[in-house]
A and B are shown apart, each in its own frame.
Chain A
Amino acid sequence: MVEVIVFAIFALAALAGGLVMVSARSPVYSAMGLLLAMFSMAVFYVMNGAHFVAAVQVLIYAGAVMTLFLFVIMLIGVDRAVDRTETIPYQRPIVYVLGAGLVALIGIAVLDVAAAFDGSLQVAWTTGRPSGNCTLDCVGTIENISGELFTGWLLPFEATVLLLTIAAVGTVALGQFALKPRDEAPEGVE
């Protein structure tokens, strides 16, 4: 019962964070909403026995990525007026319809459709074992995760190392190109 209450609290927090992120006018409020959603996710990871993923979530996402976001927000200015003119006609109604359709589609996928036709509508996965009741070898401790990561997933792991190196080099290169002053461009060329 405690699990249900914790789930309800942090599910509401995650949904509120997501809605704040989408609807806030200031990007700083958007970042704060996303931060709330990410911390709620970390709680869900712990409830599912994924302790290492939860720690990485807090350290990398809530720590590094959101700090980077806030840094860029501060860098490019937050007090700029938002231009609310619509360039695409009917953008908002179309988005609302598409969003509702997406929720309905995934809802149909989560609900067991085949069972619905039998008259016994049930949510998929509710018959599975309750989350968090993992046996010792499938709890996401550092030991279990690293044992799996460095044996069966070694090549993908090394590929991510390559990816991160390329990303770092690309970021530095982008910064170098952007540092060129604007008036060095020839006349008439933007």
Chain B
Amino acid sequence: MIPILAQAATEGLQVTAGWYMGLAAVLFAIGSAGLLLRRNALVMFMSIELMLNSVNLTFVAADSGIGSLEGQISALFIMVVAAAEVTVGLAIIVAVFRKRATASVDDLAELSG
């Protein structure tokens, strides 16, 4: 961290791609922790969305770091796939809820011996 402070003293603090990547890493960890902690299927789904978003942020930040457009294209594709995934996933959750009247993944344990 010392070189950052030295850089800040000499040429002023500038936001680089590494800042965004660090933030995206923390957000990804929060999302994965939420996925493991929560039992509500909807909140688990939201955690997956947060993880996908943080990966998008990594792509876009790397893009502006190296000056290309491919990362932004990849982010767009991730968004499309995530939208399709959300549609099907929420339909599955609603279908399960109609059948079982619950949104908790703990109650869906028929396969556990």
- Measured as residues with beta carbon below 8 angstroms from the partner, the interface class of chain B is 35 or more
B106 to A, closest residue via Cβ: A87
Distance in angstroms from A160 CB to nearest chain B CB is: 5
A30-B43, A126-B18 known; A171 and B99 CB under 8 Å? no
A68-B90, A103-B26 known; A163 and B81 CB under 8 Å? yes
Residues of chain A lying within 8 A (CB to CB) of residue B76: 52-53, 56, 145, 149
A44-B57, A123-B18, A126-B16 known; A18 and B27 CB under 8 Å? yes
A17 to B, closest residue via Cβ: B50
Residues of chain B lying within 8 A (CB to CB) of residue A27: 40, 42-43
Q: Which of A37, A82, A125 contacts B18 (CB 8 A)?
A: A125
Distance in angstroms from A180 CB to nearest chain B CB is: 9
Interface string of A133-171 (1 = CB under 8 A from B): 111001010001100110001001000100110111011
Give 17 CB contacts A-B under 8 Å. A22-B30, A27-B42, A47-B15, A48-B64, A53-B56, A53-B76, A53-B79, A75-B94, A91-B36, A125-B65, A138-B64, A148-B70, A149-B73, A160-B80, A167-B87, A171-B91, A175-B95
* Residues of B participating in the A interface, judged by any CB pair closer than 8 Å: 1-4, 7, 12-23, 25-34, 36-40, 42-43, 45-47, 49-50, 53, 56-57, 60-61, 63-70, 72-73, 75-77, 79-88, 90-95, 97-99, 103-104, 106, 109
